Structure 1
Amino acid sequence: MTTTKTNKIIFWTSTILIFLFEGVMPALTSQTELAKEGIRHLGYPEYFGNALVVFKILGVIILVVPQIPKRLKEWAYAGFTFDFLFASISHYAVDGLDFQTFFPLIVLAILMVSYVFYHKINSNNLNS
Protein backbone atom coordinates (compact mmCIF):
# COMPACT_ATOMS: atom_id res chain seq x y z
CA MET A 1 0.00 0.00 0.00
CA THR A 2 1.39 3.40 -0.89
CA THR A 3 2.17 6.01 1.73
CA THR A 4 -0.36 8.44 0.26
CA LYS A 5 -3.08 5.81 0.41
CA THR A 6 -2.16 4.94 4.02
CA ASN A 7 -2.20 8.63 4.94
CA LYS A 8 -5.66 9.02 3.43
CA ILE A 9 -6.99 5.99 5.29
CA ILE A 10 -5.64 7.29 8.61
CA PHE A 11 -6.98 10.79 7.91
CA TRP A 12 -10.48 9.63 6.96
CA THR A 13 -10.71 7.11 9.81
CA SER A 14 -9.82 9.70 12.44
CA THR A 15 -11.94 12.40 10.80
CA ILE A 16 -14.99 10.12 10.60
CA LEU A 17 -14.59 9.34 14.32
CA ILE A 18 -14.60 13.10 15.04
CA PHE A 19 -17.62 13.46 12.73
CA LEU A 20 -19.48 10.80 14.71
CA PHE A 21 -18.46 12.01 18.20
CA GLU A 22 -18.82 15.73 17.55
CA GLY A 23 -21.45 15.94 14.82
CA VAL A 24 -23.83 13.01 14.72
CA MET A 25 -23.95 12.19 18.43
CA PRO A 26 -24.57 15.79 19.62
CA ALA A 27 -27.12 16.36 16.85
CA LEU A 28 -29.10 13.29 17.93
CA THR A 29 -28.78 13.67 21.70
CA SER A 30 -28.49 17.40 22.48
CA GLN A 31 -32.15 17.86 23.35
CA THR A 32 -32.37 14.88 25.69
CA GLU A 33 -32.81 15.55 29.38
CA LEU A 34 -29.51 13.77 30.10
CA ALA A 35 -27.59 16.16 27.81
CA LYS A 36 -29.32 19.22 29.24
CA GLU A 37 -28.56 18.05 32.77
CA GLY A 38 -24.91 17.51 31.79
CA ILE A 39 -24.64 21.15 30.69
CA ARG A 40 -26.40 22.36 33.85
CA HIS A 41 -24.20 20.15 36.02
CA LEU A 42 -21.12 21.92 34.68
CA GLY A 43 -22.67 25.29 35.49
CA TYR A 44 -23.45 26.40 31.95
CA PRO A 45 -26.82 27.79 30.82
CA GLU A 46 -28.91 25.69 28.44
CA TYR A 47 -28.41 28.10 25.54
CA PHE A 48 -24.66 27.46 25.74
CA GLY A 49 -25.24 23.77 25.05
CA ASN A 50 -27.45 24.62 22.08
CA ALA A 51 -24.86 27.00 20.62
CA LEU A 52 -22.12 24.42 21.18
CA VAL A 53 -24.06 21.80 19.21
CA VAL A 54 -24.60 24.20 16.30
CA PHE A 55 -20.88 25.02 16.15
CA LYS A 56 -19.92 21.34 16.46
CA ILE A 57 -22.15 20.41 13.52
CA LEU A 58 -20.78 23.27 11.42
CA GLY A 59 -17.24 22.26 12.41
CA VAL A 60 -17.57 18.64 11.36
CA ILE A 61 -19.15 19.66 8.06
CA ILE A 62 -16.15 21.91 7.45
CA LEU A 63 -13.78 19.04 8.24
CA VAL A 64 -15.41 16.42 6.02
CA VAL A 65 -16.29 18.45 2.92
CA PRO A 66 -13.15 18.53 0.73
CA GLN A 67 -14.16 21.71 -1.13
CA ILE A 68 -14.16 23.86 2.02
CA PRO A 69 -11.23 26.32 2.03
CA LYS A 70 -8.18 25.28 4.05
CA ARG A 71 -8.35 28.41 6.22
CA LEU A 72 -11.82 27.41 7.47
CA LYS A 73 -10.59 23.89 8.18
CA GLU A 74 -7.79 25.36 10.33
CA TRP A 75 -10.38 27.33 12.30
CA ALA A 76 -12.51 24.21 12.76
CA TYR A 77 -9.52 22.26 14.07
CA ALA A 78 -8.69 25.14 16.43
CA GLY A 79 -12.29 25.38 17.63
CA PHE A 80 -12.48 21.67 18.40
CA THR A 81 -9.13 21.87 20.20
CA PHE A 82 -10.46 24.62 22.48
CA ASP A 83 -13.71 22.70 22.95
CA PHE A 84 -11.92 19.54 24.11
CA LEU A 85 -9.48 21.38 26.36
CA PHE A 86 -12.21 23.42 28.04
CA ALA A 87 -14.47 20.36 28.37
CA SER A 88 -11.67 18.59 30.22
CA ILE A 89 -11.06 21.63 32.44
CA SER A 90 -14.79 22.00 33.17
CA HIS A 91 -15.17 18.37 34.17
CA TYR A 92 -12.08 18.56 36.36
CA ALA A 93 -13.28 21.77 38.05
CA VAL A 94 -16.72 20.33 38.84
CA ASP A 95 -16.11 16.60 39.38
CA GLY A 96 -12.39 16.28 40.02
CA LEU A 97 -10.18 13.76 38.33
CA ASP A 98 -12.29 11.04 36.70
CA PHE A 99 -12.96 9.51 33.28
CA GLN A 100 -15.00 12.54 32.14
CA THR A 101 -11.89 14.67 32.66
CA PHE A 102 -9.81 12.47 30.35
CA PHE A 103 -12.34 11.56 27.65
CA PRO A 104 -12.17 14.95 25.86
CA LEU A 105 -8.38 14.59 25.80
CA ILE A 106 -8.73 11.16 24.15
CA VAL A 107 -10.96 12.69 21.48
CA LEU A 108 -8.43 15.55 21.16
CA ALA A 109 -5.75 12.97 20.39
CA ILE A 110 -7.95 11.58 17.59
CA LEU A 111 -8.47 15.14 16.31
CA MET A 112 -4.70 15.69 16.29
CA VAL A 113 -4.23 12.53 14.20
CA SER A 114 -6.77 13.92 11.72
CA TYR A 115 -4.98 17.29 11.69
CA VAL A 116 -1.50 15.84 11.15
CA PHE A 117 -2.67 13.55 8.35
CA TYR A 118 -4.75 16.34 6.76
CA HIS A 119 -1.50 18.25 6.35
CA LYS A 120 0.41 15.18 5.16
CA ILE A 121 -2.18 14.59 2.44
CA ASN A 122 -2.14 18.23 1.36
CA SER A 123 1.67 18.42 1.28
CA ASN A 124 1.68 15.26 -0.88
CA ASN A 125 -0.84 16.86 -3.24
CA LEU A 126 1.40 19.91 -3.59
CA ASN A 127 4.43 17.76 -4.39
CA SER A 128 2.66 15.60 -6.98
Structure 2
Amino acid sequence: MTAIKTTKIIYWTSTVIIFLFEGVAPALTSHTEVAVEGIRHLGYPDYFRVLLTVFKVLGALALILPMVKGRVKEWAYAGFGVVMISACVSHTAVDGFGGQSIFPLIIFVILITSYLQYHKLIDKHTD
Protein backbone atom coordinates (compact mmCIF):
# COMPACT_ATOMS: atom_id res chain seq x y z
CA MET A 1 0.00 0.00 0.00
CA THR A 2 1.31 3.42 -0.88
CA ALA A 3 1.95 6.13 1.67
CA ILE A 4 -0.74 8.39 0.19
CA LYS A 5 -3.32 5.60 0.36
CA THR A 6 -2.43 4.92 4.00
CA THR A 7 -2.70 8.64 4.76
CA LYS A 8 -6.15 8.77 3.13
CA ILE A 9 -7.37 5.74 5.09
CA ILE A 10 -6.16 7.19 8.40
CA TYR A 11 -7.57 10.63 7.52
CA TRP A 12 -11.01 9.38 6.54
CA THR A 13 -11.27 6.91 9.42
CA SER A 14 -10.38 9.52 12.04
CA THR A 15 -12.53 12.19 10.39
CA VAL A 16 -15.57 9.91 10.20
CA ILE A 17 -15.16 9.09 13.91
CA ILE A 18 -15.14 12.82 14.71
CA PHE A 19 -18.15 13.33 12.43
CA LEU A 20 -20.11 10.59 14.20
CA PHE A 21 -19.20 11.53 17.78
CA GLU A 22 -19.25 15.32 17.39
CA GLY A 23 -21.83 15.86 14.66
CA VAL A 24 -24.30 13.00 14.34
CA ALA A 25 -24.52 11.97 18.01
CA PRO A 26 -25.20 15.51 19.32
CA ALA A 27 -27.75 16.13 16.55
CA LEU A 28 -29.66 12.99 17.54
CA THR A 29 -29.31 13.15 21.33
CA SER A 30 -28.95 16.79 22.44
CA HIS A 31 -32.66 17.07 23.25
CA THR A 32 -32.75 14.00 25.50
CA GLU A 33 -33.14 14.29 29.27
CA VAL A 34 -29.64 12.80 29.75
CA ALA A 35 -28.08 15.54 27.60
CA VAL A 36 -30.13 18.30 29.21
CA GLU A 37 -29.21 17.09 32.70
CA GLY A 38 -25.56 16.62 31.69
CA ILE A 39 -25.20 20.26 30.66
CA ARG A 40 -27.10 21.39 33.76
CA HIS A 41 -24.88 19.21 35.97
CA LEU A 42 -21.79 20.98 34.64
CA GLY A 43 -23.33 24.35 35.50
CA TYR A 44 -24.04 25.55 31.97
CA PRO A 45 -27.36 27.16 30.96
CA ASP A 46 -29.66 25.24 28.63
CA TYR A 47 -29.13 27.62 25.71
CA PHE A 48 -25.45 26.62 25.74
CA ARG A 49 -26.48 23.01 24.93
CA VAL A 50 -28.40 24.23 21.87
CA LEU A 51 -25.60 26.54 20.76
CA LEU A 52 -22.98 23.82 21.23
CA THR A 53 -25.05 21.34 19.23
CA VAL A 54 -25.51 23.74 16.31
CA PHE A 55 -21.80 24.53 16.15
CA LYS A 56 -20.82 20.87 16.53
CA VAL A 57 -23.06 19.85 13.61
CA LEU A 58 -21.74 22.70 11.43
CA GLY A 59 -18.13 21.89 12.39
CA ALA A 60 -18.61 18.19 11.70
CA LEU A 61 -20.05 18.99 8.27
CA ALA A 62 -17.08 21.29 7.58
CA LEU A 63 -14.70 18.44 8.38
CA ILE A 64 -16.49 15.70 6.45
CA LEU A 65 -17.39 17.56 3.26
CA PRO A 66 -14.45 17.41 0.81
CA MET A 67 -15.40 20.67 -0.90
CA VAL A 68 -14.82 22.60 2.34
CA LYS A 69 -11.22 23.72 2.37
CA GLY A 70 -8.82 26.16 3.94
CA ARG A 71 -9.79 28.45 6.77
CA VAL A 72 -13.25 27.00 7.32
CA LYS A 73 -11.80 23.54 7.94
CA GLU A 74 -9.04 25.02 10.11
CA TRP A 75 -11.62 26.85 12.25
CA ALA A 76 -13.64 23.66 12.61
CA TYR A 77 -10.55 21.79 13.84
CA ALA A 78 -9.72 24.63 16.25
CA GLY A 79 -13.28 24.79 17.53
CA PHE A 80 -13.40 21.07 18.21
CA GLY A 81 -10.05 21.29 19.97
CA VAL A 82 -11.39 23.98 22.30
CA VAL A 83 -14.56 21.94 22.90
CA MET A 84 -12.59 18.78 23.79
CA ILE A 85 -10.23 20.56 26.18
CA SER A 86 -13.14 22.47 27.73
CA ALA A 87 -15.13 19.26 28.21
CA CYS A 88 -12.19 17.63 29.99
CA VAL A 89 -11.70 20.67 32.24
CA SER A 90 -15.43 20.98 32.98
CA HIS A 91 -15.85 17.33 33.93
CA THR A 92 -12.70 17.38 36.03
CA ALA A 93 -13.76 20.56 37.85
CA VAL A 94 -17.22 19.22 38.66
CA ASP A 95 -16.69 15.48 39.17
CA GLY A 96 -12.93 15.02 39.49
CA PHE A 97 -10.69 13.34 36.97
CA GLY A 98 -12.23 10.15 35.64
CA GLY A 99 -13.89 8.52 32.64
CA GLN A 100 -15.92 11.60 31.76
CA SER A 101 -12.68 13.60 31.70
CA ILE A 102 -10.71 11.04 29.71
CA PHE A 103 -13.22 10.47 26.90
CA PRO A 104 -12.88 14.03 25.45
CA LEU A 105 -9.10 13.56 25.47
CA ILE A 106 -9.45 10.36 23.44
CA ILE A 107 -11.61 12.20 20.92
CA PHE A 108 -9.04 15.03 20.97
CA VAL A 109 -6.28 12.57 19.98
CA ILE A 110 -8.47 11.32 17.12
CA LEU A 111 -9.08 14.95 16.10
CA ILE A 112 -5.33 15.64 16.07
CA THR A 113 -4.81 12.52 13.95
CA SER A 114 -7.40 13.75 11.45
CA TYR A 115 -5.81 17.21 11.40
CA LEU A 116 -2.29 15.91 10.80
CA GLN A 117 -3.42 13.56 8.04
CA TYR A 118 -5.46 16.35 6.43
CA HIS A 119 -2.31 18.46 6.23
CA LYS A 120 -0.32 15.56 4.80
CA LEU A 121 -2.94 15.23 2.07
CA ILE A 122 -3.12 18.92 1.19
CA ASP A 123 0.68 19.19 1.25
CA LYS A 124 0.87 16.29 -1.25
CA HIS A 125 -1.58 18.05 -3.56
CA THR A 126 0.35 21.33 -3.48
CA ASP A 127 3.72 19.76 -4.30
* TM superposition score category, shorter chain reference: over 0.9
| Per-residue deviation, residues 80-117 of structure 1 (Å, max 9, x unmatched) | 00000000000000000111011100000000000000
Q: Percent identity?
A: 57
CA distance in 2, matches of 1:61, 1:3: 26
- 2:80 corresponds to: 80
In the alignment, the residues of structure 2 paired with residue 94 and residue 110 of structure 1 have an alpha-carbon distance, to the nearest angstrom, of: 25
Residue aligning to 1:110? 110
Listed as ranges, the gaps of 5+ residues in structure 2 are none
For residue 69 of structure 1, report the CA deviation from its aligned partner: 2.7
User: Could you tell me how far apart the structure 1 residues matched to 2:48 and 2:95 are?
Assistant: 19
Which string of whole-angstrom CA distances, capped at 9 and with x for unpartnered residues, describes residues 1-59 of structure 1?
Answer: 11101100000000000000001100100000000000000000110001000000000
Residue number in structure 2 paired with 1:98:
98
CA distance, structure 2, for counterparts of residue 66 and residue 102 of structure 1: 30
Give the drift of 1:66: 1.2
Is the counterpart of residue 25 in structure 1 residue 35 in structure 2?
no
Q: CA–CA distance in 1 between the matches of 2:113 and 2:68?
A: 19
Asked whether 1:36 is paired with 2:36, we answer yes
Aligned length: 127
In the TM superposition, residue 67 of structure 1 has moved relative to its aligned partner by 1.1
TM-score (norm. length: structure 2): 0.98
Distance (whole Å) between structure 1 residues aligned to residue 14 and residue 39 of structure 2: 26
Which residue is 1:64 aligned to? 64
Aligned Cα root-mean-square deviation (Å):
0.5
